[in-house]
Structure 1
Amino acid sequence: MQATSYTYDSETRCGSVLLDDGTPVEFDAAAFDAGGLRLLRVGQRVRIETEGTGETGGAPFRITLVTLQTL
């Protein structure tokens, strides 16, 4: 899935992305580290992997990997 980086804190390696429908979703340091990135700038296109649906009674929607979108 693709998204756009929205926030990023280099000290905590946490941040958020905007999905293409405008929904903000936060990611933790583990998701950032899984992508092998060293830095992320606001506005960069990224590829994310997720798990869960976020629906009532289901697993929460969360980002498990953030990496740069390549063509």
Structure 2
Amino acid sequence: MQGTVATFDQSTRAGSLLTDEGMPLEFPAESLAEHIRHLRIGQRVFVETDGDAVTSIKIWQ
């Protein structure tokens, strides 16, 4: 699925996003792809989930 970054804490690398379906999701630092060093609020991302938990975030290109 796809979404938009709502919050991102640079120190913890965790944050939240809003899916295109309007569902808010929190994500842990472990879900970020290795190449991601920073996310901007409003940035588009690809999101993989396992139920309600975010398992992977990749940058929208």
TM-score scaled by length of structure 2: 0.90
The percentage of aligned residue pairs carrying the same residue is 45
- Hey, what's the Cα distance between the residues in 1 that align with 2:7 and 2:30? 16
Is 2:49 aligned against 1:63? no
Unmatched runs of 5 consecutive residues or more in structure 1: 53-60
Aligned CA-pair RMSD: 0.9
Equivalenced residue count is 60
- Hey, what's the Cα distance between the residues in 2 that align with 1:29 and 1:45? 17
Structure possessing the higher radius of gyration over alpha carbons: 1
TM-score scaled by length of structure 1: 0.79
Higher strand proportion: 2
- Hey, what's the Cα distance between the residues in 1 that align with 2:58 and 2:6? 14
Instruction: Give the counterpart letter for 2:58 in structure 1.
Output: T
Q: What does 1:47-58 correspond to in 2, within 5 Å?
A: 47-52=46-51
Superposition misfits of 4+ residues, deviation over 3 angstroms: none
